[in-house]
Amino acid sequence: MTTSTTDCIRKEIHLRAPRTRVWKALSDAEEFGTWFGMKLEGRFVPGQPVFGRITHPDYSHIHLEMRIERMEAERLFSYRWHPYPMDVKRDYSIEPMTLVEFHLEAAEGGTLLKVVESGFDQLPPDRRDEAFRMNDGGWTSQLVRIERHVTS
């Protein structure tokens, strides 16, 4: 299921895995990078940044920063980042970051994972629509990837 406005992407998936397993896939930086497709340096600690790069060959030139916001064990993991930072000549550090939230809920036979990314309306107008469109499709793909990861 997907619900979107111009500012917010919402997606959810029922994962046939226990919450402890899904939580580890989200909260451990190395494991997060494995299913997400990025190489991260450091650990996820609220209030701290983590830097990395995309590992997909077509996007390996993309370097990123995640600022970890909240970690509530087996319930909520959130961070801020610059969505769709594709232009290596652009300084994204001067732009606002969007907020990504993963909400975990117990569900029959596994875990309900909800992903919310908000803050697109604060982005510069010249890239707002593309960042929203690309991340909307990206989250659809990433939910498939985490599903494969936690059920394999």
The CATH number linked to 99 is 3.30.530.20
Q: What tokens does 9 get?
A: 């992407």
State the pLDDT at residue 61: 87
Q: What is the pLDDT of residue 1?
A: 46
pLDDT along the chain (152 residues), means of 10: 73 98 98 97 97 91 94 98 92 96 97 98 95 96 98 94
Listed in sequence order, the residues at least 6 apart from 143 whose beta carbon sits closer than 8 Å to its beta carbon are 11, 13, 113, 115
In whole angstroms, give the CA distance from residue 151 to residue 31: 14
Domain total for the chain? 1
Look up the domain containing 59 and give its range. 2-151
Which amino acid, residue 96?
Answer: P
Question: What confidence tens digit (pLDDT) does each residue in 13-42 have?
Answer: 999 999 999 999 999 999 999 999 999 999
pLDDT of residue 123: 96
pLDDT attached to residue 59: 85
Q: Is 92 helix (H, G, I), strand (E, B) or coil?
A: helix
Whole-angstrom Cα distance, residue 62 to residue 54? 6
